[in-house]
Amino acid sequence: MVLKKHSSTIIFTIFLGFILFSYLIKFEPGIIIKDNFTSFTIGMLKVLPAAFILIGLFEVWVKKETIERHFGEDSGFKGFFWAIILASTTVGGTYVAFPVAYSLYQKGAKYSIIFTYIGASALTRIPMTLFEISFLGIKFTVIRLLTSIPLVILSSIWMGRYVEKRNFYFRK
Amino acid sequence: MTILYVLTALTLIASLIADIEKTKKALKISVKKLLKILPAFVKMLILVSFILYFVPDEVIVKYLGESSGVYGLFAGLSFGSVTMMPGFIAFPLGGILLEKGVSYMNIAAFTTTLMLVGILTYPVEKEYLGRKITILRNVISFIIAVVITLIIGLIYGEVF
Protein backbone atom coordinates (compact mmCIF):
# COMPACT_ATOMS: atom_id res chain seq x y z
CA MET A 1 0.00 0.00 0.00
CA VAL A 2 2.80 2.36 0.99
CA LEU A 3 4.62 1.35 -2.15
CA LYS A 4 1.55 2.13 -4.22
CA LYS A 5 1.15 5.54 -2.63
CA HIS A 6 4.74 6.47 -3.37
CA SER A 7 4.96 4.68 -6.70
CA SER A 8 5.41 7.86 -8.71
CA THR A 9 8.13 9.18 -6.37
CA ILE A 10 9.95 5.87 -6.71
CA ILE A 11 9.54 5.82 -10.49
CA PHE A 12 10.70 9.42 -10.78
CA THR A 13 13.77 8.78 -8.58
CA ILE A 14 14.75 5.77 -10.68
CA PHE A 15 14.22 7.86 -13.81
CA LEU A 16 16.46 10.65 -12.47
CA GLY A 17 19.11 8.09 -11.54
CA PHE A 18 18.94 6.65 -15.05
CA ILE A 19 19.38 10.10 -16.59
CA LEU A 20 22.32 11.03 -14.33
CA PHE A 21 23.97 7.69 -15.04
CA SER A 22 23.42 8.16 -18.78
CA TYR A 23 25.21 11.49 -18.60
CA LEU A 24 28.09 10.00 -16.62
CA ILE A 25 28.77 7.21 -19.09
CA LYS A 26 27.63 9.25 -22.11
CA PHE A 27 24.82 6.82 -22.88
CA GLU A 28 23.22 8.36 -25.98
CA PRO A 29 19.66 6.91 -25.61
CA GLY A 30 19.45 8.17 -22.04
CA ILE A 31 20.31 11.68 -23.18
CA ILE A 32 17.72 11.60 -25.96
CA ILE A 33 15.11 10.36 -23.47
CA LYS A 34 15.98 13.23 -21.13
CA ASP A 35 15.56 15.71 -24.03
CA ASN A 36 12.16 14.18 -24.83
CA PHE A 37 11.19 14.47 -21.19
CA THR A 38 12.16 18.15 -20.93
CA SER A 39 10.47 19.20 -24.15
CA PHE A 40 7.20 17.46 -23.25
CA THR A 41 7.32 18.74 -19.68
CA ILE A 42 7.78 22.32 -20.87
CA GLY A 43 4.92 21.93 -23.35
CA MET A 44 2.64 20.69 -20.62
CA LEU A 45 3.70 23.27 -18.03
CA LYS A 46 2.69 25.97 -20.48
CA VAL A 47 -0.90 24.74 -20.46
CA LEU A 48 -1.57 23.18 -17.06
CA PRO A 49 -1.40 26.22 -14.69
CA ALA A 50 -3.86 28.24 -16.76
CA ALA A 51 -6.12 25.24 -17.27
CA PHE A 52 -6.25 24.50 -13.55
CA ILE A 53 -6.88 28.14 -12.64
CA LEU A 54 -9.88 28.04 -14.97
CA ILE A 55 -11.01 24.75 -13.43
CA GLY A 56 -10.78 26.29 -9.93
CA LEU A 57 -12.80 29.32 -11.01
CA PHE A 58 -15.34 27.03 -12.67
CA GLU A 59 -15.72 25.07 -9.43
CA VAL A 60 -16.56 28.12 -7.30
CA TRP A 61 -18.54 30.20 -9.78
CA VAL A 62 -20.62 27.78 -11.83
CA LYS A 63 -23.66 26.51 -9.97
CA LYS A 64 -24.45 22.82 -9.89
CA GLU A 65 -27.98 23.55 -11.12
CA THR A 66 -26.62 25.30 -14.22
CA ILE A 67 -24.55 22.28 -15.23
CA GLU A 68 -27.40 19.93 -14.38
CA ARG A 69 -29.77 21.92 -16.54
CA HIS A 70 -27.45 22.13 -19.56
CA PHE A 71 -25.49 18.86 -19.28
CA GLY A 72 -27.60 16.76 -16.91
CA GLU A 73 -30.24 14.07 -17.30
CA ASP A 74 -32.88 16.32 -18.86
CA SER A 75 -30.59 18.38 -21.04
CA GLY A 76 -31.62 16.69 -24.28
CA PHE A 77 -29.71 17.07 -27.50
CA LYS A 78 -28.53 20.63 -26.88
CA GLY A 79 -26.24 19.27 -24.18
CA PHE A 80 -24.25 17.34 -26.77
CA PHE A 81 -24.01 20.40 -28.97
CA TRP A 82 -22.59 22.56 -26.16
CA ALA A 83 -20.26 19.77 -25.04
CA ILE A 84 -18.75 19.70 -28.55
CA ILE A 85 -18.43 23.49 -28.68
CA LEU A 86 -16.72 23.45 -25.28
CA ALA A 87 -14.45 20.63 -26.48
CA SER A 88 -13.37 22.47 -29.61
CA THR A 89 -12.02 25.29 -27.47
CA THR A 90 -10.03 22.96 -25.21
CA VAL A 91 -6.29 23.61 -25.36
CA GLY A 92 -3.38 21.24 -25.00
CA GLY A 93 -4.61 17.72 -25.38
CA THR A 94 -6.97 15.19 -23.90
CA TYR A 95 -4.86 15.37 -20.75
CA VAL A 96 -6.52 18.75 -20.13
CA ALA A 97 -9.96 17.39 -21.04
CA PHE A 98 -9.88 14.75 -18.28
CA PRO A 99 -9.78 17.17 -15.32
CA VAL A 100 -12.39 19.36 -17.00
CA ALA A 101 -14.59 16.31 -17.61
CA TYR A 102 -14.19 15.33 -13.99
CA SER A 103 -15.31 18.76 -12.80
CA LEU A 104 -18.34 18.55 -15.10
CA TYR A 105 -19.11 15.14 -13.61
CA GLN A 106 -18.95 16.49 -10.06
CA LYS A 107 -21.30 19.29 -11.03
CA GLY A 108 -23.91 16.83 -12.27
CA ALA A 109 -23.27 16.36 -16.00
CA LYS A 110 -24.41 12.99 -17.31
CA TYR A 111 -22.01 10.30 -18.52
CA SER A 112 -22.97 10.40 -22.19
CA ILE A 113 -22.25 14.13 -22.35
CA ILE A 114 -18.97 13.79 -20.49
CA PHE A 115 -17.82 11.06 -22.88
CA THR A 116 -18.88 13.20 -25.82
CA TYR A 117 -16.87 16.08 -24.39
CA ILE A 118 -13.74 13.93 -23.98
CA GLY A 119 -14.06 12.36 -27.44
CA ALA A 120 -14.78 15.68 -29.11
CA SER A 121 -11.87 17.35 -27.36
CA ALA A 122 -9.61 14.75 -28.97
CA LEU A 123 -11.17 15.36 -32.40
CA THR A 124 -12.31 18.95 -32.77
CA ARG A 125 -9.76 21.20 -31.04
CA ILE A 126 -9.63 24.28 -33.26
CA PRO A 127 -5.84 24.90 -33.51
CA MET A 128 -5.25 21.22 -34.26
CA THR A 129 -7.99 21.14 -36.89
CA LEU A 130 -6.43 24.15 -38.63
CA PHE A 131 -3.09 22.35 -38.81
CA GLU A 132 -4.85 19.34 -40.25
CA ILE A 133 -6.52 21.42 -42.95
CA SER A 134 -3.29 23.09 -44.01
CA PHE A 135 -1.33 19.85 -44.30
CA LEU A 136 -3.91 17.28 -45.38
CA GLY A 137 -6.50 19.44 -47.11
CA ILE A 138 -9.98 20.65 -46.23
CA LYS A 139 -11.67 17.63 -47.84
CA PHE A 140 -9.86 15.27 -45.49
CA THR A 141 -10.77 17.32 -42.43
CA VAL A 142 -14.43 17.70 -43.40
CA ILE A 143 -14.84 13.95 -43.98
CA ARG A 144 -13.10 13.21 -40.72
CA LEU A 145 -15.24 15.61 -38.70
CA LEU A 146 -18.51 14.56 -40.34
CA THR A 147 -17.82 10.89 -39.65
CA SER A 148 -16.23 11.21 -36.22
CA ILE A 149 -18.70 13.51 -34.47
CA PRO A 150 -21.78 11.29 -34.96
CA LEU A 151 -19.72 8.23 -34.02
CA VAL A 152 -18.51 9.91 -30.84
CA ILE A 153 -22.04 10.96 -29.83
CA LEU A 154 -23.53 7.52 -30.52
CA SER A 155 -20.77 5.64 -28.75
CA SER A 156 -20.95 8.06 -25.81
CA ILE A 157 -24.68 7.43 -25.40
CA TRP A 158 -24.02 3.70 -25.50
CA MET A 159 -21.10 3.98 -23.06
CA GLY A 160 -23.18 6.13 -20.71
CA ARG A 161 -25.85 3.43 -20.54
CA TYR A 162 -23.30 0.63 -20.20
CA VAL A 163 -21.44 2.40 -17.38
CA GLU A 164 -24.67 3.05 -15.48
CA LYS A 165 -25.90 -0.52 -15.94
CA ARG A 166 -22.59 -1.98 -14.78
CA ASN A 167 -22.32 0.52 -11.92
CA PHE A 168 -18.91 1.74 -13.00
CA TYR A 169 -18.03 5.03 -11.39
CA PHE A 170 -15.55 7.80 -11.93
CA ARG A 171 -13.00 8.19 -9.18
CA LYS A 172 -14.48 9.73 -6.05
CA MET B 1 -1.46 29.60 -26.19
CA THR B 2 -1.47 33.37 -25.71
CA ILE B 3 -5.25 33.35 -26.00
CA LEU B 4 -5.41 30.87 -23.13
CA TYR B 5 -3.40 33.16 -20.86
CA VAL B 6 -5.28 36.30 -21.86
CA LEU B 7 -8.56 34.49 -21.23
CA THR B 8 -7.37 33.12 -17.89
CA ALA B 9 -6.10 36.54 -16.79
CA LEU B 10 -9.36 38.26 -17.76
CA THR B 11 -11.47 35.63 -15.99
CA LEU B 12 -9.28 35.88 -12.92
CA ILE B 13 -9.56 39.68 -12.84
CA ALA B 14 -13.33 39.53 -13.27
CA SER B 15 -13.50 37.00 -10.46
CA LEU B 16 -11.34 39.16 -8.18
CA ILE B 17 -13.56 42.19 -8.80
CA ALA B 18 -16.69 40.16 -8.11
CA ASP B 19 -15.52 38.42 -4.95
CA ILE B 20 -12.02 38.24 -3.50
CA GLU B 21 -12.80 35.48 -1.02
CA LYS B 22 -14.34 33.26 -3.67
CA THR B 23 -11.34 33.83 -5.91
CA LYS B 24 -8.98 32.80 -3.13
CA LYS B 25 -11.03 29.67 -2.65
CA ALA B 26 -10.90 28.98 -6.40
CA LEU B 27 -7.11 29.30 -6.51
CA LYS B 28 -6.79 26.99 -3.51
CA ILE B 29 -8.88 24.42 -5.40
CA SER B 30 -6.68 24.92 -8.50
CA VAL B 31 -3.46 24.28 -6.59
CA LYS B 32 -4.89 21.33 -4.68
CA LYS B 33 -6.20 19.67 -7.84
CA LEU B 34 -3.00 20.28 -9.78
CA LEU B 35 -0.79 18.88 -7.00
CA LYS B 36 -3.03 15.86 -6.68
CA ILE B 37 -2.73 14.90 -10.34
CA LEU B 38 0.94 15.89 -10.78
CA PRO B 39 2.36 12.42 -9.91
CA ALA B 40 0.21 10.88 -12.67
CA PHE B 41 1.49 13.52 -15.10
CA VAL B 42 5.08 12.68 -14.17
CA LYS B 43 4.41 9.00 -14.91
CA MET B 44 2.88 9.94 -18.24
CA LEU B 45 5.84 12.17 -19.17
CA ILE B 46 8.35 9.43 -18.35
CA LEU B 47 6.36 6.98 -20.49
CA VAL B 48 6.18 9.47 -23.36
CA SER B 49 9.91 10.20 -23.30
CA PHE B 50 10.77 6.49 -23.54
CA ILE B 51 8.23 5.68 -26.24
CA LEU B 52 9.37 8.63 -28.36
CA TYR B 53 12.90 7.34 -28.14
CA PHE B 54 11.85 3.95 -29.51
CA VAL B 55 9.34 5.36 -32.02
CA PRO B 56 10.75 8.67 -33.25
CA ASP B 57 9.25 10.59 -36.18
CA GLU B 58 11.77 9.10 -38.63
CA VAL B 59 10.66 5.57 -37.77
CA ILE B 60 7.01 6.51 -38.31
CA VAL B 61 7.79 8.12 -41.68
CA LYS B 62 9.93 5.14 -42.69
CA TYR B 63 7.39 2.45 -41.81
CA LEU B 64 4.32 4.27 -43.07
CA GLY B 65 6.15 5.46 -46.15
CA GLU B 66 7.45 2.04 -47.15
CA SER B 67 4.64 -0.25 -46.21
CA SER B 68 1.56 -0.02 -48.33
CA GLY B 69 -1.93 -1.50 -48.19
CA VAL B 70 -2.90 -3.49 -45.14
CA TYR B 71 0.58 -3.34 -43.60
CA GLY B 72 0.60 0.43 -43.80
CA LEU B 73 -2.86 0.47 -42.29
CA PHE B 74 -1.73 -1.61 -39.32
CA ALA B 75 1.45 0.42 -38.96
CA GLY B 76 -0.63 3.62 -38.86
CA LEU B 77 -3.08 2.24 -36.31
CA SER B 78 -0.31 0.94 -34.06
CA PHE B 79 1.95 4.00 -34.19
CA GLY B 80 -0.98 6.33 -33.62
CA SER B 81 -2.17 4.34 -30.61
CA VAL B 82 1.14 4.04 -28.79
CA THR B 83 2.58 7.48 -29.43
CA MET B 84 1.56 10.97 -28.43
CA MET B 85 2.42 14.23 -30.13
CA PRO B 86 0.88 17.65 -30.52
CA GLY B 87 -0.97 18.53 -33.73
CA PHE B 88 1.71 20.95 -34.88
CA ILE B 89 4.09 17.98 -35.16
CA ALA B 90 1.66 15.26 -36.22
CA PHE B 91 0.10 17.04 -39.21
CA PRO B 92 3.31 18.28 -40.83
CA LEU B 93 4.38 14.64 -40.49
CA GLY B 94 1.14 13.69 -42.26
CA GLY B 95 2.02 16.20 -44.98
CA ILE B 96 5.42 14.56 -45.49
CA LEU B 97 3.76 11.15 -45.74
CA LEU B 98 1.29 12.47 -48.30
CA GLU B 99 4.16 13.76 -50.45
CA LYS B 100 5.79 10.35 -50.18
CA GLY B 101 2.67 8.86 -51.74
CA VAL B 102 1.16 7.32 -48.61
CA SER B 103 -2.59 6.86 -48.96
CA TYR B 104 -5.04 9.14 -47.15
CA MET B 105 -6.44 6.07 -45.45
CA ASN B 106 -3.11 5.07 -43.91
CA ILE B 107 -2.43 8.63 -42.81
CA ALA B 108 -5.91 8.74 -41.26
CA ALA B 109 -5.14 5.46 -39.47
CA PHE B 110 -2.21 7.22 -37.85
CA THR B 111 -3.78 10.62 -37.10
CA THR B 112 -7.16 9.39 -35.83
CA THR B 113 -5.69 6.83 -33.43
CA LEU B 114 -3.20 9.49 -32.36
CA MET B 115 -6.10 11.77 -31.43
CA LEU B 116 -8.49 9.22 -29.99
CA VAL B 117 -6.50 6.41 -28.40
CA GLY B 118 -4.46 7.38 -25.38
CA ILE B 119 -2.27 4.55 -24.16
CA LEU B 120 0.31 7.04 -22.89
CA THR B 121 -2.29 9.22 -21.16
CA TYR B 122 -3.57 6.14 -19.29
CA PRO B 123 -1.90 7.14 -15.97
CA VAL B 124 -3.72 10.49 -16.01
CA GLU B 125 -7.06 9.29 -17.39
CA LYS B 126 -7.25 6.44 -14.86
CA GLU B 127 -6.94 8.91 -11.97
CA TYR B 128 -10.10 10.67 -13.08
CA LEU B 129 -12.27 8.06 -14.76
CA GLY B 130 -11.08 4.93 -12.98
CA ARG B 131 -9.41 1.92 -14.58
CA LYS B 132 -12.49 0.20 -16.05
CA ILE B 133 -13.99 3.23 -17.76
CA THR B 134 -10.56 4.25 -19.08
CA ILE B 135 -10.01 0.88 -20.72
CA LEU B 136 -13.58 0.75 -22.09
CA ARG B 137 -13.28 4.28 -23.48
CA ASN B 138 -9.99 3.56 -25.23
CA VAL B 139 -11.23 0.30 -26.78
CA ILE B 140 -14.32 2.06 -28.14
CA SER B 141 -12.15 4.96 -29.34
CA PHE B 142 -9.93 2.56 -31.25
CA ILE B 143 -12.96 1.03 -32.97
CA ILE B 144 -14.20 4.50 -33.90
CA ALA B 145 -10.77 5.39 -35.29
CA VAL B 146 -10.84 2.25 -37.47
CA VAL B 147 -14.32 3.10 -38.80
CA ILE B 148 -13.28 6.69 -39.62
CA THR B 149 -10.15 5.39 -41.34
CA LEU B 150 -12.12 2.97 -43.50
CA ILE B 151 -14.67 5.62 -44.47
CA ILE B 152 -11.84 7.95 -45.50
CA GLY B 153 -10.34 5.10 -47.52
CA LEU B 154 -13.69 4.46 -49.21
CA ILE B 155 -14.29 8.10 -50.08
CA TYR B 156 -10.79 8.54 -51.50
CA GLY B 157 -11.26 5.29 -53.43
CA GLU B 158 -8.34 3.59 -51.72
CA VAL B 159 -10.10 0.50 -50.42
CA PHE B 160 -10.27 -2.49 -52.83
Residues A18 and A88 placed together within one structural domain of the fold: no
Residues A43 and A66 placed together within one structural domain of the fold: no
The residues of chain A scoring below 70 in pLDDT are 1-5, 172
Cα B44 from Cα A95, distance rounded (Å): 10
**The CA-based dihedral angle spanning residues A127, A128, A129, A133, taken in that order and rounded to the nearest 10 degrees:** 100
Residue numbers of B between 56 and 75 with CB closer than 8 Å to A:
none
Residues A71 and A34 placed together within one structural domain of the fold: no
Residues A118 and A36 placed together within one structural domain of the fold: no
Residues A40 and A67 placed together within one structural domain of the fold: no
The answer to whether position A139 is within a domain reads yes
Residue numbers of A between 30 and 49 with CB closer than 8 Å to B:
32-34, 36-37, 40-41, 43-44, 46-49
Residues A158 and A89 placed together within one structural domain of the fold: yes
C-alpha to C-alpha distances, B99 to A24, B104, B107, B156, nearest whole angstrom? 42, 11, 11, 16
Q: How close B158 gets to chain A, by Cα (Å)?
A: 13
Q: What is the DSSP string of B1-30?
A: -HHHHHHHHHHHHHHHHH-HHHHHHHHHHH
Identify the closest residue of chain A to B31 by CA–CA distance.
A52
Which of A143, A149, A162, A169 would you mutate first to test chain B, the one with the most B CBs within 10 A?
A143
Residues A112 and A164 placed together within one structural domain of the fold: yes
C-alpha to C-alpha distances, B115 to A18, A63, A98, A118, A154, nearest whole angstrom? 30, 31, 14, 11, 18
Which pLDDT tens digit goes with each residue over A107-154?
999 999 999 999 999 999 999 999 999 999 999 999 999 999 999 999
The answer to whether position A129 is within a domain reads yes
- Predicted TM-score of the model (pTM): 0.93
Query: 3-class DSSP state for residue A125?
Result: coil
Domain that holds residue A112: 62-172
Give chain B positions within 8 Å (CB) of A102: 128-129
Per-domain residue ranges for chain B?
A: 37-155
Q: What is this model's ipTM? A: 0.93
What's the one-letter identity of residue A76? G
The residues of chain B scoring below 50 in pLDDT are none
Domain count, chain A: 2
- Nearest by CB: A168 against B108, B132, B151: B132
